[in-house]
Amino acid sequence: MDPSANHHPGKGLHIGHPWPLGASLTARGVNFSVVAPLATRIELLLFSHGDATEADRIVELDQRHRSGDHWHVEVEGLGLGSCYGYRVFGALQPGGHGFNPSKVLLDPCARAIAGWSGYGRGSAVGAAPNTSQCLKGVVTERDRFDFHHAPRPRHSWQKSVIYELHVGGFTQGPGCPVAEEHQGRLLGLIPTLPYLRELGITTIELLPVMAFDPHDAPAGRHNYWGYSPLSWMAPHPDYLVGDDPLNGRNQVRQLVTACHRAGIEVLLDVVYNHTTEGNQDGPTLSWRGFCDRLYYQQSARGDYQDVSGCGNTIAANRPLVRRLILESLRCWATELGIDGFRFDLGIALSRGDNLAPLDTPPLFEEMEADPDLSDLKLISEPWDCGGLYRLSDFPARRVATWNGRFRDDLRRFWKGDEKTCWTMAQRLSGSPDLFTNAPVHPGQCITFLTAHDGFTLADLVSFNGKHNLANGEDNRDGDNHNNSWNHGIEGPSSDHAITALRERQLRNLLTSLLLAPGVPMLLMGDEVRRSQGGNNNSWCQNNPLGWMHWQPDEGDLALRLFLRRLLKLRAHLAALFNPEQSIDETPQRRSSDRGNLWRQWHGVELDKPDWASWSHTLAWSLQDSRQGPMVWCGLNSYSKAMHFELPACPNGWLRVIDTALPPGDDLPSEPQPWLPTGAPLQSRSLMLLVAAPLLKGAEL
């Protein structure tokens, strides 16, 4: 092509190219490209620095700068750190909203953001200009992560243990082992990696770290969790050290490099189902100003359709929107080294026009076909706020799902509810009732007891109801159905009988989680009884209520030791709890068969499980046709002690776990032989016996 064909009259300006999206370096300067299908013209505003209140230069883009839905221009003489924004012109859309050229817009593909010190969310509403309070995109490099010196750990699903944490909350608080200047920051996670490794964590899952709007909250509060995305490309500034937006990407790389070298994977909780712009009355900050009819699901008359609970829903079924989401995923995975993603309300991304559920949503099809994303861990919530819930039939082959039924049924069983034995057995055997008896694919089922949204584990056994008054909404926010139990007194107690029972229940719940097939996820601080005072929706609590508990007492340390040994036990017996392996529920027919275990269900009597609605006792064993019983586990959620019959073990049983015993003895480092033919289980306790040869050489 004749180079002059790409030249446009004007000092140092060229037509540019539609790809790549965003601002990218060229030999002459910077190429800018944005998507705005319905726009009639666009202005590119160039600022001298991030805090500038007026643009130094305005570059007008007309139809000659347009390739289909893409608008582009190349500007000579610009380089790294250049700050910019857009004004977009076009006709108003149905409903009276759409283009608002008085607003300076943030490029949806900007990999860094400047202007935070003068940013005003309120200035993005209405007709008045917001130039003096706008955010600006920053031109950055797009270098690939150095996987040669910091390769992905690539833990199999079978050996993965996920730990969900909040970057700001995990790296601050009294006793935090993080230097003051790094507290609340991404770099502050690096000194905590030995703690996580010692505990037995293979994978950390970070609550949103993409730039979000902390002011997207009612008056007097701040958005702390970050489920209010302002950008899908740039890291959140409050998690960075210093005010240089170009250095932010390197800080992400520093963290990921340290994690990889420690053998820990990094997953991001990503929010592609909605943005911080809210409904049609919300601020015009980015997506809305370029083309709200493109990015947001709307009715024919222009009303925003909402299954996110946040005022808008991203139209992820549309090609141009999919391209932006995929570009975001590639940015974090290939440029910054991230190992996987957890999709907030991910099933919302499977909705088509008019919110119709799609069996083959194109976003996930393209994601699974993308070679840059093929080796990542992908996880999703299988529900949204519009009532769509697809757990076992999530419409994406490689995406694992949070098993909310697992959480609820384990809580209900140990709480002592009726009609829970059969459902508990289903959860402990991989949820075959939910997955229609078909073998699950590797990592399909994420099992968990607690997550950021809801009670912590300590609060689950200490409160009957939520206590969210600190959130300023008169306790109306947060889930009302927690399946929790305070065991006699609401909140902290000095009654030894109550506290002892709570301690036992913590161990019952954790053991049930980690002995079940699936990929377990733990919540930040559950290992040291972190409490939020009964608050089950701490989205705005950037204070000790939402921080990690770094000053554990004796009881906290005892639970952490229990969990550490439990994770070592799970790792040692990984073949028995392999989420990729289907375990038969009936005996093997040929004694010569090897390697195929079968599970046998019991009650207090062998081979006689009690599935009655009033039953609170359950036992199971894993059998090998040649070696006999390998594992026996008894669970008693009844209010009285029960005596269980045991299958004979030719190689001898070792008592590995007995949650009724005092801390330290409940899961000893050296399990002792168990000689009795029966197992007395105290009220609300669990016992695990393992055939002696299986633990030969094991260190707990």
CB atoms within 10 A of CB 476: 9
Angle between helical axes of 362-369 and 319-330 (0-180°, round to 10): 40
Q: What are phi and psi of 247, to 5 degrees?
A: -80, -15
The answer to whether 670 is a known catalytic residue is no
Rounded CA-CA distance 513/424 in Å is 11
CB atoms within 10 A of CB 465: 14
Q: What are phi and psi of 618, to 5 degrees?
A: -155, 145
Contact in structure between 451 and 525 (CB atoms under 8 Å): no
- Which of 164, 265, 339, 381 is flagged as catalytic? 381
Q: Which class for 697: exposed (0-12), middle (13-18), buried (19 or more C-beta within 10 A)?
A: exposed
The answer to whether 381 is a known catalytic residue is yes
Rounded CA-CA distance 467/77 in Å is 57
What are the residues whose beta carbons fall under 8 Å from the beta carbon of 424, sequence distance 6 or more? Answer: 409, 410, 413, 618, 635
Q: Which two tokens stand for residue 349?
A: 């991304």
Cis peptide leading into residue 587 (ω within 30°)? no
Rounded CA-CA distance 73/66 in Å is 9
Contact in structure between 566 and 511 (CB atoms under 8 Å): yes
Q: Which residues of 251-276 are buried (b: 16+ CB within 10 A; e: fewer)?
A: bbbbbbbbbbeeebbbbbbbbbbbbb
SS3 41: strand
Contact in structure between 118 and 53 (CB atoms under 8 Å): yes
91 secondary structure, DSSP code: P
- Would you state the torsion angle of the CA atoms of residues 313, 319, 323, 326, taken in this order, to the nearest 10 degrees? 70
**H or E element that contains 293:** helix 287-295
Rounded CA-CA distance 343/334 in Å is 18
Angle at 159 between CA 156 and CA 164, to 5 degrees: 95
Element counts in the chain: helices (H) and strands (E):
11, 26
Strand 519-523 and strand 445-448: pairing?
parallel
Nearest Cα to Cα of residue 273 among 191, 371, 341: 341
Rounded CA-CA distance 616/684 in Å is 9
- Would you state the torsion angle of the CA atoms of residues 499, 502, 504, 507, taken in this order, to the nearest 10 degrees? -130
* Entry field: residues in the chain: 700
Rounded CA-CA distance 55/33 in Å is 19
Rounded CA-CA distance 668/78 in Å is 64
The catalytic residues are: 344, 381
